[in-house]
Amino acid sequence: MAISPKILIYGCGNPGRQDDGLGVFVAERIEKWIKKENIEYVKTDCNYQLNIEDAAEMADKDIIVFVDASKEDLSDYLLTRVKPSNKLEFTTHSISPSYLLNLCNVIYNRSPEVYLLHIKGYKWDFMGEITEKAKRNLGKAYNFLKKFIISNKNGIKDRYFERI
């Protein structure tokens, strides 16, 4: 019997800034789904931005998927693999997933599989509602993530970049 990997779904963004909250909204939906389905090998977390302390949360996981809204030229969503980097960049998210992965390697001697699920967003105003197009992308990304989680129940698969 295979042991299920420990998976962390980490939603990033600000739900008070329209589509910027897409990562948080997906993580919240996944949280409800894993509770309903009694899936114990998946945990969720959310925050406005990533912090150095998040490396500790990563250390005992096998797979981490950071979920964030994107201004990139995407049709709806895209999953990319994160590679470690010791380059500290100052962006809207104070710490990048690649820098956190590097910290996890250096501090905890752990190298989990790390991915970033980019979800196409359109508007970033304060106190506005999520756009209709972003809601559709959120639904597609959420369904993809559920399939991703189920497909990895018995161990890490090397087919993440396919649309399941």
- Sheet with 63-70, strands from edge to edge, namely 42-47, 7-12, 63-70, 113-120, 77-81
Identify the domain containing residue 135 by its residue range: 7-151
pLDDT in tens, 30-42: 999 999 999 999 9
Residue 92 has pLDDT above 60, yes or no: no
The whole-number pLDDT of residue 90 equals 53
Q: How many domains does the chain have?
A: 1
Q: Does 158 map to a domain?
A: no
Question: CA angle, corner 152, sides to 121 and 140, nearest 5?
Answer: 25
pLDDT band for position 164 (50/70/90)? very low
The whole-number pLDDT of residue 127 equals 77
Structure tokens at 94: 């104070």
Residue 126's domain is classified under what CATH number? 3.40.50.1450
Q: Does 118 map to a domain?
A: yes
pTM over 0.75: yes
Q: Does 119 map to a domain?
A: yes
